[in-house]
Amino acid sequence: MAQLHPMKLTEVLAERGLSLESQANGEAPKEIQDREIKKEPTPRANYLRNIYFDTLSSLDVQESYWYTRAATEHEGEVPIMRRAYGLKSVFQHLDTPIWPHELLVGAKAGFYRGSAPLPWLTESFFMDKDSDLYKAALATGAESSAEVSHFGAGGGNVTKSFGNVVSVGGKYGVRREIVPAMHRLAYAWAGKSVEDVGRKYEQMVPEYKVKENIMKSVVSNFDSGFTIPQGREVMNYYYVLEYGFDGLIDFCEKRAGEVAGEAGGDGISGMDRLYYYKSMAELCRGLSAWFDNYGREADRLLSCTEDETSRAELSEISERMHRISHEKPMTFKDALQAIYLLHLAELNEDAMSGLSPGRIGQVLYPYFEQDIEAGRLTEAEAEEWNELYRVKMTCIDAFACTGVVGGVLSGNTFNNVCIGGLDREGKSAANRLEMLILEAGIKCQTTQPTLSLLYDEATPEEFLLKCMECVKTGAGYPAIMNNRIGMEFIQNQYQHEGMTVRESRAWSVGGCLETSPGTWMPLHHGGKLYWIPGGSGQPTSVGVHFLNNPKILELTLNNGFDRRTGLQVFEPHNRTFDTFDDLVDQYKKYYEKSVEVLNKCMNIQHDVWRKFTPSMVNSLLKPNCLERGLGIAQKGYRYNATFNIECCGMCNQINSFAAIKKLVYDDKKYTLDQLKDALDHNFGYKTSKEVGSESLKDQEKRDDDDGRYDEIHADCLRAPKYGNDEPYVDDMLYDWEQWFCEDMPHKFESLYAEPLYVCQMSVSTHGPEGAVTGATADGRLEGTTFADASMSAYPGTDTHGQYALFESATGWDHSMSQNSQMNLKIHPSATKGVEGSRKLLDLTRAYMRKGGFHIQYNIVDSRVLKKAQAHPENYRTLLIRVAGFTQYWVEIGKPIQDEVIARTEYESI
């Protein structure tokens, strides 16, 4: 007889003395506690931030129009010149809105919170679902991840069409009358886009059918060559700061004449130098016009404004924009304005996330220092301008498919500002301006730019405590990165390209936590020489995107067959797995096959990208392109070994390994067939699809369940779990890390013939990838969300405290990987006062000194999150840390919200 009220998983676990919402190191106070640190932004920043809160994510097609028009007019040009004319036209014609009370001006599109489709890159995903372009993408598996990705229904996300607004991709709004133009522009690139041409040639890979099956089953989250081919890297603003646009145009024109017809010892890339310099001159003219047009808009507004305060502000904007459209910046405000617009310029040339400004507190310090000394600037002004910068960066949206923006980014764009670290000579690089950047982050809490502390033992105590104060606001930043580990990884990965110890000190974080190489450049300002850091590498986290580790284990247990889709993803192995080592061996074979096939296809996609739409703004700004006369396509960047292999769900994979080994091979309590039967039947529970939720706490027993799987499910849940300093399971992690980081990736190379490396984080992929994965041997149920990050424990399973978790996490060398990720949730009562800040710093130091690479904190009472989930209309401004990024709670999909709520909450440190 069917149950009137099916038992939920939470009730079943409660009967076994288990919980999904664990408290550790004590109990939370009875009364809900808010975060301790609360400050208000300046009135100007608050006014502009409130506009953002009331603004929807909007699409603007003007960039698509002007680029397409210019590219068509220059159809027969050398490809890089055709692209230069297209981008020049875009920057010459983009709207240049200036909103009331702004001092820092600039917008990615014509809307306050806007983005633009780039159909020359990819055009299928934003078409109507019944269009031939969308159907073709769906047939290849390109949109499979989108089918299981979610946006939060609140905030600025346009999840549904309304009135005259059409929802695109479940996030962006576009006026209904614009849709035909958007589709017409998309069809203009049908068969010519990077997506279409790349897909044409990747089908020539012999195992292409395997690649399709991998995408359809979401073993991999999305293609990298035409979705977000740039990003996860660090900008370099040096050349514009040092020379200005007029100086760069003169330099490029002179060099074009010098290299014209000269092979330079290399008849391939040497001859390309002419086109590089000519294209960069055209790009600089477009960028100069764009800067100048903001001055023209200020002039227009000035002509119709009577308020004297507003007139003075507009006059200052006009003078600044007209000047820096030609000359190098001279003041702090000049320089901040210039680097902000350069940042937008790069974002406007490609679809991307994780384009990090880098260590701008050190880049801008020369201007800050001299302005303060000369009385041109006060610290209060500098702090306010950093607040305005935060609002501006938060308005940036990334336009890409739902599987990327929803399933990976949760709507975030990962513009990371790093603070601290070491200077060129090995001394602490923390400075007074960075203290003001922290203060701006405390007062004006926004999602962007996220902040990351490059923790080093040389960093002053006062600076570190200021970082802890900022963490205690609950905004989730700064995340803390181990500077020593980052330097060691950089030295190891780029040594063959000339990386030195001194150069490695210039590294920064590209995206949420991807280590990215940098370099020191000599800035001359006010008669003094400063060495400033900036990015010098190609985009990172491009290559093989987010392999689904638990899914590959599921396919291993099922002979390469995916029960959800009915696809034979991999060739059947037909092995019986007489030993646990046999199982792991086959798992690694399927894993390597995934990397092999995906890497070949991604190399083709990226090769088409670099031939058709190579980066130009970055190829202007990154060393050593200007010196060599070579852009990204010719390996003109100083460091090019940046392609990687990303993974998700490693904690569930390792915990599943431990359960299988203990229950089947060591204790022999169950056969492998019995375990597989329980997994195939989801331990007697409904599927997440039947329940209508991918969140663990919502799962229910089947109506006809007879309890036959209860015991095995309980044993799977009680099997050793990572995060408790248990060698039985931790040693499996260390063995895996050795193979994953050192033995496996170097078998493969990028399109630049450089060795791959691995990247370990989840971002938001633990939601959609969990949604397509059956029950796992660690006791997780079908379709539910994985553990976040890579070094974080599965919610509720880290029962022995933070330091036991640290022991588990640091038994391997973190410098073998581009990154690793640790998230902790701590109740606000545990960090109160100066003493609480010092305890938080001591906890951080303990992890760093044991060799952990990254740690980030959610300082929050979980009951606040539950209230916010039930009544989102009351929590528009609530920020939360997810997995490498901060986001407004209401803009996060429910599966990720539930996973954050379920994380172990530490009541004391």
CB atoms within 10 A of CB 381: 17
For 673-701, what is the mean pLDDT?
Answer: 91
Report the candidate in 213, 259, 347, 271 with the shortest Cα–Cα distance to residue 618: 347
Q: Round to the nearest angstrom and report the end-to-end CA distance of the chain.
A: 49
From 395, 418, 512, 651, active-site residue: 512
Question: How many Å apart are CA 882 and CA 879, to the nearest integer?
Answer: 10
Q: What are the structure tokens assigned to 669, written together?
A: 């309590």
Task: Tell me whether residue 395 is one of the annotated catalytic residues.
Answer: no
User: pLDDT digits over 772-809, tens only?
Assistant: 999 999 999 999 999 988 999 998 899 899 999 999 99
More confident position, 338 or 414:
338
Average pLDDT over residues 646-673: 97
The answer on pLDDT for 126 being more than 80 is no
Residue-wise pLDDT tens digits, 87-105: 999 999 999 999 999 999 9
CA dihedral 667, 672, 674, 677 (to 10 degrees): 140
Q: Worst-scoring range by mean pLDDT, 215-224, 356-365, 722-731, 749-758?
A: 215-224
| For range 108-112, the mean pLDDT | 88
Q: What is the pLDDT of residues 829-885, one digit of tens each?
A: 999 999 999 999 999 999 999 999 999 999 999 899 999 999 998 998 889 888 778
Residue 512 designated active-site: yes
pLDDT at 828 over 90: yes
Q: Indicate the pLDDT class of residue 9, thresholds 50, 70 and 90.
A: confident
| pLDDT over 60 at 129, yes or no | no
Question: ∠694-697-698 over CA atoms, to 5°?
Answer: 60
pLDDT at 133 over 90: no
**H helices present in 479-579, as ranges:** 483-494, 501-504, 549-557
Residues 514, 554, 769, 782: which is the catalytic one?
A: 514
- How much of the chain exceeds pLDDT 70, in percent? 95
DSSP secondary structure, 186-218, as one string: HHHTTTTSHHHHHHHHHTTSTTHHHHHHHHHTT
Angle CA(776)–CA(781)–CA(786) in degrees, nearest 5? 75
Q: What is the pLDDT of residues 389-430, one digit of tens each?
A: 999 999 998 887 666 665 566 567 889 999 999 999 999 999
| pLDDT tens for each residue of 186-197 | 999 999 999 999
Check residue 909 and give its pLDDT: 85
Question: What single string gives the DSSP state of each residue in 387-399?
Answer: HHHHHHHHT----
Structure tokens at 63: 């960039």
Phi, psi of 450 (to 5 degrees): -70, 155
Dihedral sign, Cα of residue 580, residue 581, residue 586, residue 591 = positive
Q: What was the pLDDT predicted at 449?
A: 94
Give pLDDT, residue 415: 92
Residue 150 pLDDT > 90: no
Q: Is the pTM of this model over 0.85?
A: yes
Alpha-carbon gap, residue 463 to 444, rounded angstroms: 19
CA 459 centroid distance within chain = 26
Report the pLDDT value the prediction gives residue 562, as an integer from 0 to 100.
97
